[in-house]
Amino acid sequence: MASQNLFVGSLAFATTDDGLKAHFEQVGPVVSARVITDRETGRSRGFGFVEFESDDDNQKAVDQLNGKELDGRTINVSIARPKN
């Protein structure tokens, strides 16, 4: 079970949970992929989180996908900081 999530920033407003998951599955099996939305409008806030089955895939995803394009936007991928 993975203990770390990945933070994905600079997402296009058109990116969906399914689209995010599909993009990251090229690295390895994804447990969850979530685009964070505004509570009031339901619109994407431009970032999300991805969790892999294996922690090894986290660093692979950062190396392979950081700075790559998804839905027309260059995304930022990094290890998420733990919640305080």
CATH 3.40.1190.20 holds for 6-79? no
| Structure confidence by residue, pLDDT tens digits, 19-50 | 999 999 999 999 999 999 999 999 999 999 99
pTM: 0.92
What DSSP assignment string belongs to the chain? ----PEEEES--TT--HHHHHHHHTTTS-EEEEEEEE-TTT--EEEEEEEEESSHHHHHHHHHHHTT-EETTEE-EEEEPPPP-
| Structure confidence by residue, pLDDT tens digits, 51-66 | 999 989 999 999 999 9
Q: Above 70 in pLDDT, residue 69?
A: yes
Q: Above 60 in pLDDT, residue 1?
A: no
pLDDT of residue 3: 62
Q: Above 80 in pLDDT, residue 81?
A: yes
